[in-house]
């Protein structure tokens, strides 16, 4: 079995169709994207004992909120530390480990729910599931870039689009399963976790079995790689450890951090924020629809913007993200003040498309700057920006809102200062992006890339 999982056993044979690789990546990303739908479990898990309403021994929402936070932190750490290991062992072994951790995390959490032991849930979905998230997120990226050197943005966009859309599957699946398993004495959460864990493990394993690496020296028919490096697109390669010594890595880190910080807080508070900024215009049911619409734009933006970056260039694409994002965030408070629901919703839909597009475009940006040799490991290190932004964004939204309300500002205007702070963050991102230049040749790897021989 170990031999079957080895990197050498994943090299594609003659006639292999490269379009089989994006579905393998989607098998992973559509599953782990369920993390965006974890909130559907929160309220039922506050009624595990009381069933119809919370009992004295039931968990509080503040206690349950740590599950998601732990999983995102472990995602960032796993992506950062497992990147170099992934380079050595190849995508199949990494994707199978991701399936085992993510699916197993559900099973451990189910035991914690059944025993009503919260630390088991933290360990299961938070730690094990988070490790599965991080490894699964980065495992297909380098492989896709190698199969699609002619369209790296489109290729990574296809996979990472799945992560954005995973909640659209995970949310109704979880709700339907809880309804099926619930009864007079149970809200059905534990058996739902078991079922989802087994389903996700199965589909992620299918992805691991489907994935292939291109043979050494393989190129798409009719594609001729550039003989010389372009303005920002290198034909050389940079080792992951050497990449951390370049200013380009930290500039791209800031670019991702600032783009994600501006969007992730909005994504997490979209329902409450829309109702408070547009009182009487957006009610609870409409706010739920608004959240669903944002998810669609988040998902679609990952594919559309990443594909567009193949033509616009990665630096120009981020220029659009920051410049247009600044205009849209600045337009939100006036739109709310005017009571224009259409303009308000339109601004946030485009903002969310660029939030998702930033995630999907950055792997190709790294490929342009550092080559393909260690792009998976470099991408893993870069995702620490996501973990940092996951703290920064919600803090800006929640704590500034609370400070404003305590100062006597009406709820409808409590987000105005935050929106203008977002404009400032995006302006900083615009500057960081403008400072990015080609990596100096002294950082280039001394040995030529071996095409399919590395991940």
pLDDT of residue 2: 52
The helix (run of H) or strand (run of E) holding residue 32 is: helix 21-32
* DSSP secondary structure letter of residue 296: H
Q: Residue 361: name the closest of 326, 330, 322 by CA.
A: 322
pLDDT of residue 94: 93
Rounded to whole angstroms, the Cα distance separating 160 from 153 reads 10
DSSP symbols for 318-364: HHHHHHHHHHHHHHHHHHHHHT-HHHHHHHHHHHHHHHHHHHHHHHH
Rounded to whole angstroms, the Cα distance separating 361 from 356 reads 9
Tens digit of pLDDT at every position of the chain (455 positions): 557 778 888 888 888 899 999 999 999 999 998 887 887 888 889 889 988 888 888 998 778 878 888 888 898 889 888 888 888 888 999 999 999 999 999 999 999 999 999 999 999 999 999 999 999 998 888 788 889 988 888 988 887 888 878 878 888 899 899 999 998 889 999 999 999 999 999 999 999 999 999 988 888 888 877 665 556 777 788 988 899 999 999 999 999 999 988 887 777 666 667 777 888 788 767 876 787 788 889 889 999 999 999 999 999 999 999 999 999 999 998 998 888 989 989 999 999 999 999 999 999 999 999 988 888 889 989 988 987 887 777 777 777 777 877 888 777 777 788 888 889 999 999 999 999 998 888 888 765 444 333 33
The helix (run of H) or strand (run of E) holding residue 261 is: helix 247-277
Rounded to whole angstroms, the Cα distance separating 390 from 72 reads 8
Rounded to whole angstroms, the Cα distance separating 455 from 450 reads 10
pLDDT of residue 276: 79
Q: How many CB atoms lie within 10 A of CB 295?
A: 23
Q: Residue 189 contacts by C-beta under 8 Å, 6 or more apart in sequence?
A: 41, 44, 45, 48, 113, 178
Helix axes 384-406, 375-382, angle to 10 degrees: 20
With contact defined as beta carbons under 8 Å apart, do 139 and 98 qualify? yes
From the CA atom positions of the chain, what is the Rg in Å?
Answer: 22
Rounded to two decimals, the pTM is 0.80
């Amino acid at each position: 079995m170990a031999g079957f999982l080895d990197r050498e056993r994943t090299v594609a044979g003659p006639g292999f169709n490269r379009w089989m690789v994006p579905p393998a990546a989607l098998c992973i990303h559509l599953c782990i994207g369920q993390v965006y739908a974890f909130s559907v479990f929160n309220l039922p898990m506050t009624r595990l004992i009381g069933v119809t309403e919370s009992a004295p021994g039931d968990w509080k929402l503040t206690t349950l909120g740590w599950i998601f936070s732990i999983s995102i932190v472990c995602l960032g750490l796993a992506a950062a530390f497992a990147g170099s290991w992934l380079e050595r062992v190849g995508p199949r072994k990494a994707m199978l480990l991701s399936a085992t951790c993510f699916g197993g995390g559900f099973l451990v959490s189910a035991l914690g729910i059944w025993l009503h032991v919260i630390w088991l849930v933290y360990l299961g979905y938070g730690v094990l599931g988070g490790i599965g998230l991080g490894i699964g997120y980065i495992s297909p990226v380098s492989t896709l870039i190698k199969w699609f050197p002619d369209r790296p943005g489109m290729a990574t966009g296809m996979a990472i689009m799945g992560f954005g859309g995973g909640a659209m599957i995970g949310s109704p699946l979880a709700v339907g399963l809880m309804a099926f398993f619930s009864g007079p004495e149970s809200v059905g959460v534990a058996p739902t976790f078991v079922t989802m864990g087994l389903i996700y493990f199965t589909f992620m394993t299918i992805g691991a079995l489907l994935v292939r690496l291109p043979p050494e020296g393989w190129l798409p028919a009719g594609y001729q790689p550039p003989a010389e490096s372009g303005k920002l697109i290198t034909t050389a390669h940079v080792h992951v450890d050497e990449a951390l010594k370049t200013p380009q890595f930290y500039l791209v880190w800031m670019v991702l951090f600032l783009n994600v910080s501006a969007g992730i807080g909005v994504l997490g508070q979209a329902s409450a924020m829309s109702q408070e900024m547009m009182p009487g215009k957006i009610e609870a049911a409409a706010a739920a629809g608004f959240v669903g619409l944002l998810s669609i734009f988040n998902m679609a933006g990952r594919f559309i913007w990443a594909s567009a970056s193949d033509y616009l260039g990665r630096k120009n694409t981020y220029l659009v993200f920051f410049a247009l994002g600044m205009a849209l965030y600045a337009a939100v408070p006036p739109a709310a003040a005017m009571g224009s629901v259409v303009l308000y919703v339109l601004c946030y839909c485009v903002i969310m498309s660029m939030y998702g597009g930033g995630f999907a475009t950055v792997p190709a940006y790294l490929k342009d700057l550092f080559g393909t040799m260690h792009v998976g490991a470099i991408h893993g290190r870069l995702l620490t920006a996501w973990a940092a932004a996951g703290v920064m964004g919600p803090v800006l939204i929640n704590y500034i809102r609370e400070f404003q309300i305590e100062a006597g500002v009406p709820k409808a205007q409590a987000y105005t200062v935050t929106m203008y702070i977002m404009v400032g963050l995006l302006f900083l991102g615009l500057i960081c992006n403008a400072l990015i230049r080609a990596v100096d040749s002294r950082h280039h790897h001394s040995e030529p890339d071996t095409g399919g021989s590395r991940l």
